[in-house]
Amino acid sequence: MNRTARGDGGGGGGEVKLALRGVSMVFQGDAGRVPTLDAIDLEVRRGELVCILGPSGCGKSTLLNIVAGFIAPTSGEVRIDGEPVRGPDPRRIFVFQERGVFPWLTVEGNIGFGLGGLPGAERRARIDRYVELVGLRDFEHTYPHELSGGMKQRLEVARALAVEPDVLYLDEPFGALDSITRLTMRVELLRIWEAERKTILFVTHDIEESVQLADRVVVLSARPARITRIVEIDIPHPRDLSSPRYLELRDGIFEEIGVAHRI
Amino acid sequence: MKAFRRGGVTESPRRSVIAPLRRMLPLTGVSALLLGWSLAAHLAGAHTLPGPGKVARAIVELTERGLLLRFAVASLFRVTWGYLLAVAVAVPLGLCLGLLQRAERTLNPLLQILRPISPLAWIPLAILWFGVGDLSAIFIIFIASALPLTVTTINAVHLVPRVHLDAGRNFGLGPLALVRRVVYPAVLPQLIGGLRLALGIAWLVVVAAEMIAVNSGLGFLIIDARNAGDRYDLVVAGMVLIGLIGLVLDAGMRRLERLPSLRWGFGAARAAR
Ligand SMILES: Nc1ncnc2c1ncn2[C@@H]1O[C@H](COP(=O)(O)OP(=O)(O)O)[C@@H](O)[C@H]1O
Ligand SMILES: [Mg+2]
């Protein structure tokens, strides 16, 4: 239970973008109280990519929804740029699995959804830029139900990026994709992150995914979630997935979570 | 139901043979109906059941006397007003009730009590309030189509995925913008279904209302033809016209379902919801 001692771990300086202080959540379920988050303390620096890793049902989505302002915690608080979070905000966009795209809008309509306030030409240019960035050129007038899962996911990321937020929240964004598409999506996410340098909170239950993407991996326990460890992934991108350091870090997390990595 | 009809995995070579046949099926059905009708009319005698030929002549007679157009327009006029009024009230009301839990809990019992009352039961009150005339018929059509449309809209709002509402709020939409840009488009496919249903009901009810409350329209034609000289050929002619116009109205509503921005809600995109 040395979580707090290591809670603020991780190397490098940099300005704190997002800070969680003692965030706890207890749901009132049909069968009584469901303690879901237990005093989560965490700091994320500007431009950092942090993965939140934990078993299914431990409370990862709950945590991300609290940080995004969709639900209020039972106790504790979230501050972004020093300001307490009081609700969702277009400066910080939540990317749901591809289910979040609006099926009644075309690719173009989806990407432009948050750009109502811009003058026409600028809006056009912005849409164009992000269509290009996520590789959906020639699909501008296509409706989501005619796109593959991977394309829908990229569309949702483009819709989020188009409003130029400074934080992205991704909740198991690639969970519904096949393993090959998932790998290419990770490469694309890293490419976009390197180009735009957003602060990213990325929730996943996939150990490999977290070690491939993150600057730091925040390991959560089973419900009620506590931070058991924060692992700094000190390998520069592009990461060699067979390098000794990668395997060492990955296996360390496997051990931490207490699952065998031999099948 | 549509999904089942389309969902079957038919192999393409077989389908290409069957497709033209399939298109013939409705025609075959109509032919069979006409044939059975003729036969029945023949066996029962023209006094019990006028045959298709006689009814066709009755329709020609109505056309020549200018009554067909006049009565059809009169009926459509009442339906249009009653129905548009119902849409104008029921859709916004349904959207609000669907979104505001408390308002819904308050008004839901009222809706549930009103719903099982046949619209025709309102006829005496309608006459009392609005007199014998168009207004009564319009009121009855309004009552008949507004209630189911409200309920359909409420249910459609409940089915809007949570992530879409959250995404809308995340992009900074206030309550009104959320309704306009997320809730409304999200419920539109289901709403079109409800609108189609409500128009069917409106048409069903106008005829009944005209049997009592007015002296023009297709419903009036049916009652009047019977009362004024047992012209059963005109009665059946009225029935056929009502059916045909109903068919055209429904086909019009169906076309809406094929708009590109609505297609996601029908068939192809079920999985995406
Ligand atoms: N609105 C809610 N009411 C009651 N319990 C909830 C609610 N949302 C989530 N939970 C419970 O909280 C736990 C964590 O859920 P979640 O955050 O979705 O987990 P994860 O995303 O890690 O899989 C689950 O046991 C779930 O049943
Ligand atoms: Mg989850």
The CATH number linked to A52 is 3.40.50.300
Q: Which of A169-178, A213-222, B6-15, B186-195 has the lowest mean pLDDT?
A: B6-15
**A87 and A175 housed in the same domain:** yes
Amino acid identity at B53: G
**A244 and A128 housed in the same domain:** no
Q: pLDDT by residue (tens digit) across B80-112?
A: 999 999 999 999 999 999 999 888 888 889 999
User: Relative to the alpha carbon of A57, which ligand is closest?
Assistant: 1
Strands of the sheet with A199-204, listed across from one edge: A92-95, A167-171, A199-204, A49-53, A216-220, A227-232
Domain boundary among A122, A149, A164: A164
Q: pLDDT by residue (tens digit) across B216-229?
A: 899 999 988 888 87
The third-level CATH classification (topology) of the domain covering B51-272 is MetI-like fold (1.10.3720)
> Where are chain B's structural domains?
51-272
DSSP B92-137: HHHHHHHH-HHHHHHHHHHHHHHTTS-GGGGHHHHHHHH-SSHHHH
CA pair distance A173, A86, nearest whole angstrom: 24
Q: Which of A115-129, A149-163, A208-222, B221-235 has the lowest mean pLDDT?
A: B221-235
Q: Mean pLDDT, to the nearest integer, of A176-203?
A: 89
**A83 and A206 housed in the same domain:** yes
Best residue in B171, B180, B187, B264 to probe A by mutation, most A CBs within 10 Å?
B171
Give percent of chain B above pLDDT 70: 90
**A119 and A240 housed in the same domain:** no
A129 has pLDDT over 70: yes
Within A48-167, where are the H helices?
Answer: 60-68, 107-111, 120-133, 149-162
Evaluate whether A101 touches A156 at the Cβ level (below 8 Å).
yes
Q: Mean pLDDT, to the nearest integer, of A35-52?
A: 96
Domain boundary among A164, A186, A213: A164
Is A184 a domain residue? yes
Tally A–B CB contacts below 8 A.
65
Distance A171 CA to ligand 2 centre (A): 7
- Chain A residue numbers with beta carbons less than 8 Å from the beta carbon of B169 are 70, 87-88
**A144 and A191 housed in the same domain:** no
Which residues touch A54 (CB under 8 Å, ≥6 apart)?
A: A60, A205, A219, A220, A221, A222, A225
Closest partner CB to A103 (pick from B170, B171, B269): B269
Longest dimension (CA), chain A: 57
**A85 and A178 housed in the same domain:** yes
**A54 and A150 housed in the same domain:** no
- The terminus-to-terminus CA distance of chain B in angstroms comes to 17
CB contact under 8 A, A88 and B268: no
Mutual angle of helices B134-158 and B67-99, in 10-degree steps:
40
CA distances from B216 to B52, B68, B200, B225, B254 (A): 24, 11, 20, 12, 29
Range of the domain at A123: 99-164
- What's the domain count of chain A? 2
**A181 and A156 housed in the same domain:** no
Our measurement of the distance from residue A52's CA atom to the centroid of its chain's CA atoms, rounded to an integer in Å, reads 8
For residue A98, the chain B residue with the least C-alpha distance is B272
Is A211 a domain residue? yes
User: pLDDT at position B265, please?
Assistant: 74
Grouping H, G, I as helix, E, B as strand and the rest as coil, residue B218 is: helix
